[in-house]
Homo-oligomer: A and B are copies of this chain.
Amino acid sequence: MEKIKKILEEKGIKPSIQRIKIFECLMCDGDHPTAKDIYEIIFKEIPTLSKTTIYNTVKLFTDKGILKPVRIREGEVRYDIESDSHPHFRCNKCGKVFDLEKNLLIKEKKEIDGHLIEEKCVCYLGVCRNCRRKREH
């Protein structure tokens, strides 16, 4: 609790009760929660909570670089407190999202950490060659 306060203050974020709870929720939940998940968890403690606050806060955290949106499935934006980019594994049955080892390179493995791999999805983001030529930065 005090730890979270410090982390937020270091990033120039005022540690309101809502923000602390949301950060706590992101730390504890091992499964990369959606905005809805976060809302439902914290609503039990703060019944006046607004969904707008969740969206405002994850936007703020993202802008400050302490949170990263993870988009794996349609209509599902999940949030990841880990700052370093790392691979994910999403279960097609229960929907849970697991963290995988950073720098992991699976070639033809069919299994990892006990999870059965059925599909792989890789995307790189950046600036394409056309936009680089245009030098519009």
A85 lies within 8 A of B129 (CB)? no
**Copies held by the complex:** 2
B122 lies within 8 A of A122 (CB)? yes
Q: Which of B69, B77, B92, B129 contacts A114 (CB 8 A)?
A: B129
Main secondary structure of the interface of A (DSSP, over half): strand
Number of interface residues of A (CB under 8 A): 43
A124 lies within 8 A of B128 (CB)? no
Shortest beta-carbon distance from A115 to chain B in Å: 5
A45 within 8 A of B: no
Q: Mark A67-102, 1 if CB is under 8 A from B, else 0.
A: 001011110010000000101111111101010100
In angstroms, Cα B119 to Cα A87, docked, is 12
A119 lies within 8 A of B124 (CB)? yes
A71 lies within 8 A of B72 (CB)? yes
Shortest beta-carbon distance from A91 to chain B in Å: 4
B129 lies within 8 A of A88 (CB)? no
B114 lies within 8 A of A132 (CB)? yes
Q: Which of B116, B127, B130 contacts A127 (CB 8 A)?
A: B116
Beyond A85-B120, A87-B122, A89-B128, 7 additional pairs, beta carbon < 8 A? A85-B121, A92-B127, A94-B128, A96-B128, A120-B124, A121-B122, A121-B123
